[in-house]
Chain A
Amino acid sequence: MKSNKVVSLLKDLGLLLYAMFALFPLVWLVIISFKHDREMFNTTFIFSPTLDNYRVLFSSGEFIGYFVDNLIVSVGAIILSIVVGVPAAYALARFDFKGKESIAFTFLSFRFAPEILVVLPIFLIYQKIGLYDTYFGLIWIFQVVSLPLMIWILRGYFEDISVEMEHAARLDGYSWWQVFIKMIIPLIKPGLVASSLLSFIFVWNNFTFSLLLAGQKVTTTTVAMLKYVSSDTVHYGQMAAAVLISSLPIIILALAIQKHLVRGLSMGAVKG
């Protein structure tokens, strides 16, 4: 009994050690975001907190611009993915047709296509047809990230709904379209919300596409942040504040969909 307690204590200690590694960087970031530049070098935990970093960040409008750009392309990409992805997922779940698995695999393989390989020819095309450095250009290329996720996760949710229920509704005289809108969509709503938010997180965090296909007129936060570091006058406190503000939305989203995270991150392979 006593040795059990010791073992349990050791296990908790191991967890705490890992938690230090995983969480301390974030805690420290919060701390320095409230620190004045004067106190940055000679204090660690004891200092007089200030909101100056946040004030400067929001007063310039520059950071807000990046944030809004990121929001526009992320929301745009998710809406487009929902519009074309929901019917596609439904078709892959419900119908039996020639080439079904190959089509499903083709969609999945976009998710695992090396981003640099996709981006090199797209870079040429976008410059020719004028989509380089535009909102729509980014929204379109982000379908590589969000559409496979949407289709594969939702396909699993559609498969969970029994065909008999659908048939019953059809027998009651509803048209196929009515059944889809009134019955099926409400049933997959949790999955739809989860896969949308998860796609949002991935698009929001994307770096390669935003770096190589935009950057002057349309700048996302990840790209902007890297420029921040390269500039000569680094205000560490402001940088920490910027990192926190741009990461906060996705941490909140992740908490909101934590029940669906496992299923989403494994693209439906693990029904956690």
Chain B
Amino acid sequence: MQVEHKRGKFVQADSTTLLSNEEIKIPFLRKMRPYIILSPAFLLTIGILIPFGMAIYYSFTNFSFKYAVYNWIGLENYISMFKDPEFWHSVKVTIMYAGLATVIETVLGVIIALLLNRESVIAKSLRIVLIFPLVIAPVIATLIWQLMTNNSVGILSKWLRMVGVDNFTWGADPKTALFTVLVIDAWVFTPFVILLVLAGLRSLPKAPFESAMIDGGSAWFTFKNLTLPMIMPMLLIAVLFRLMASLQMFDIIFALTRGGPGNTLMTLPLTAYTEAFTYKELGYSLPYMLILWAFVYLISHYMVKYWSHTQKKASGK
């Protein structure tokens, strides 16, 4: 009886000491271990959390770079922002920019990924090099396109002149400015969608497609009922990443027109930048970004939820 009891105890102790002996002696430290390991990373990013709290606080003040003193003014910044037609204009521009960029890049990205997912010589040789624009800094990409569309040396203007389009205005005219930034955004970020969708396509099982072919399903039928649902998880990740990034896009617009001509490209980030650094009204600029942040936070929260859902599904839990 006693021997058995001892043996049982021994077995039990063995299974818990697999990780470490000292852990049993000091259970508190063991409990704290993950937090201790995480703390350097957390301390480093606390530097970001404090400013974030400050941003919320300053949004309730009339803080300005012009004056040394500032006062608590409650919701006044928010109220005047919601009354400001410029705010609604920038909401409209932001949504238009982000929506159009995401749709264009998704559609184009899926088409090109499908075309690349074949065994032709051209498809194979282009798979890697088509990614190049993605790693180029958006600001630099904007410079490249500015050079290309430059009136004196730009090759695009030269070609356009040859086909009779004399003075295409690109970023300089309110009518073509949005088009121009969208072209640049698509140039840089379509490869992102291509990359993710292509990875999805290449990991698909072959069997369902073979049986669809034997059954004589049309290409469109196969795409709609087989390919699209199967690459959906990856496509959704790509779309959400693009949507979040383009809602906050600053680099391309700033480098091309600084939000102009006039207020044509004044998205929320551009307006906040202008309020803070051109007009020096920091307190008034913050609500613009906090509204945008709340929106992006909601999207990312949804994304992570969906993400862990698909991962659980993939690992069969």
Contacts and interface: CB of A to CB of B under 8 A. Distances in A.
Is the A/B pair a real complex? yes
A114 B158 contact: no
A23 B130 contact: yes
Chain B binding surface, main DSSP class: helix
Nearest to B203: A272
Given A15-B115, A18-B130, A117 B289 contact: yes
Identify which of B38, B47, B51, B147 gathers the most chain A CB atoms within 10 Å of its CB: B38
A266 B139 contact: no
Interface in B26-81: 31, 33-35, 37-38, 40-42, 44-45, 47-48, 50-52, 54-55, 58
B128 A11 contact: no
Interface stretch (A46-54, A55-63, A181-189, A204-212): A204-212
A265 B289 CA distance: 25
Contacts of B285: 120
Given A15-B116, A208-B251, A239-B147, A22 B140 contact: no
17 contacts: A12-B115, A15-B112, A22-B130, A22-B133, A26-B133, A94-B34, A107-B41, A112-B297, A113-B296, A114-B248, A117-B292, A120-B282, A141-B48, A226-B143, A236-B153, A254-B134, A270-B234
A254 B55 contact: no
A55 to B, nearest CB: 20
Rank and list the top 10 A-B pairs by shortest CB-CB distance, nearest first.
Answer: A272-B199, A205-B137, A121-B51, A117-B289, A88-B41, A95-B34, A91-B37, A84-B40, A121-B54, A262-B199
Nearest to A26: B132
A143 B44 contact: yes
B192 A265 contact: yes
A5 to B, nearest CB: 11
A247 B140 contact: yes
A122 interface: yes
Given A23-B129, A103-B38, A171-B18, A207 B137 contact: yes
B139 A143 contact: no
A13 B115 CA distance: 10
B108 to A, nearest CB: 8
Interface in A218-258: 222, 225-226, 229, 236, 239-240, 243, 246-247, 250-251, 253-255, 258
B76 to A, nearest CB: 18
B223 interface: no
B176 interface: no
B226 interface: no
Interface string B259-291: 000000000010011001100001001100110
Interface stretch (B5-13, B99-107, B118-126, B210-218): B118-126
Contacts of B116: 15
Given A108-B300, A120-B289, 9 more contacts: A41-B152, A83-B40, A97-B35, A117-B293, A143-B47, A225-B143, A247-B135, A258-B131, A270-B200
B79 to A, nearest CB: 20
Contact of B52 (A88, A91, A121, A171): A121
Interface size class of B (residues with CB under 8 A): 35 or more
Contacts of B140: 205, 222, 225, 243, 246-247
B78 to A, nearest CB: 15
A153 interface: no
Interface string B160-196: 0000000000000000000000000001001110011
B237 A204 contact: no
Interface in B192-236: 192, 195-196, 199-200, 202-203, 233-234
Contact of B196 (A11, A32, A251, A270): A270
Contacts of A107: 41, 45
A19 B126 contact: yes
B255 interface: yes
A212 to B, nearest CB: 8
